[in-house]
Amino acid sequence: MTMADWFIYSLASLAGYGVVGLLQKLATNRVSGDKALVYYSLGYLVLFPLFWSRAEFKGVPGMTLLIGVLLGFMARSGEWALFKSLEFGGKASVVVPLTYTYPLITLLLAVVVLGEHLSALKWAGIGLAIIGAVLMARGEESAEKPKS
C-alpha cells in the first residue's frame, strides 16, 4: 500500500466521521442516547456481512480475539458517553470536536505502552491540541454566561 492508498482511506474516514458528528446530534435531539446507540449499531450491522466475508479467522490467537472484543467494548462505551453528552444538551460544535481529540490519549498510550517516540514537533502539536480542546470547552462556558 502506498501513501496515496492510505491517505485516500484517511480522507474517507475524515468525511465519514464529519457527517457522523452531525447525525449523532440530530439523533439525540429526537431519542435518548441509549436508543441512538442501538440505531447506530443497527447501521453497523448492515455492513457486518461485508466485513465478515473478508475476514480470516483460522488460527487467530486468543489474545488477538480478546483485543478485538476489548476494542469493540471501549468504542461502543465511548460512543455511548458521546451520545449521552449530546442528549443532555451538549452542543455538537463543542462536544464532537472535544471528543474527537481522543487521538491524544492514543498518542500518549503509544509512547507509554508501545515505546514509540515522538518528535518535539509532535509533542508541540499535542500541546496545541490540548489548548484547543480547553479553548473549545471554555469558550462555550463564556458564551453562555449572561453579560452584566
**Which pLDDT tens digit goes with each residue over 115-135?**
999 999 989 988 998 898 888
**Residue 38 has what pLDDT?**
92
The sign one gets for the Cα dihedral 64, 18, 16, 22 is positive
Task: For Cα atoms 115, 120, 125, give the angle at the middle one, nearest 5 degrees.
Answer: 95
Average pLDDT over residues 44-52: 91
**Residue 1 has what pLDDT?**
65
**Residue 141 has what pLDDT?**
55
* CA 144 – CA 133 distance, rounded (Å): 17
Same domain, 18 and 66: yes
- List, for residues 58-110, the tens digit of each pLDDT value: 888 989 989 999 999 999 999 999 999 999 998 888 888 888 888 888 888 99
Same domain, 62 and 123: no
Whether 23 is in a domain gets the answer yes
Same domain, 113 and 135: yes
Percent of the chain with pLDDT over 90: 42
Residue 55: give the domain boundaries.
10-90
pTM of the model: 0.73
Whether 52 is in a domain gets the answer yes
* Domain tally, the chain: 2
Same domain, 18 and 63: yes
Same domain, 75 and 118: no
Same domain, 69 and 118: no
Whether 2 is in a domain gets the answer no
